[in-house]
Amino acid sequence: MRGEAVARVGRIAIDGTFYRHGNPRYPLDAVPPTALAPSRWQDEGDPASLHASDSAEAAWAEWAKASGDAVDRKYVRRRSGQIEVNVRAVDLRDHDVQKALGIAGDADLTGDDVTTCRRIAEVARALGVEALLAPSAALHGGTTLVVLPAGLRKVRVVCEQVAAPPR
């Protein structure tokens, strides 16, 4: 993936509410300076991004996919709620954008190999892109919002609570 391709694709305005969850010890919009663990859109030690979903169901599905069987949900508490964002994003759900970036299709963004996702995020961060919109890797038809460091100041918590995840 070449930076020129990411620089050329258009951005869309995202002004709306998304759902997310996180560590119950920190506010919902808290993001460390660097990623503490690898994920689809960042490797450990990369500049951290905030991940959210277009529905509560998709947010919990993403968490369940990432945590797998490693967690007994009966004993876990997560901070969950809604955030408002006002960012400009590269819409990776758009097949014309995928083609321009050399992405073969949604499977490149939702499959087990996260190389393409991390490379897109790396190039986008370097170019100062505020956010990425992508198909959810955990819930068919869902959308993931990745707010990159350039967009983090444009996130506001709407509501949050600490609770057990749905079973």
The rounded distance, in Å, linking the Cα atoms of 75 and 120 is 35
Average pLDDT of the segment spanning 36-49? 94
pLDDT for 154: 98
Can you give the residue range of the structural domain that contains 16? 3-163
Instruction: Count CB atoms within 10 A of the CB of residue 15.
Output: 10
Rg for the chain (alpha carbons), in Å?
15
pLDDT band at 1 (very low <50, low <70, confident <90, very high): low
Average pLDDT of the segment spanning 75-84? 91
The rounded distance, in Å, linking the Cα atoms of 111 and 119 is 14
Domain count, the chain: 1
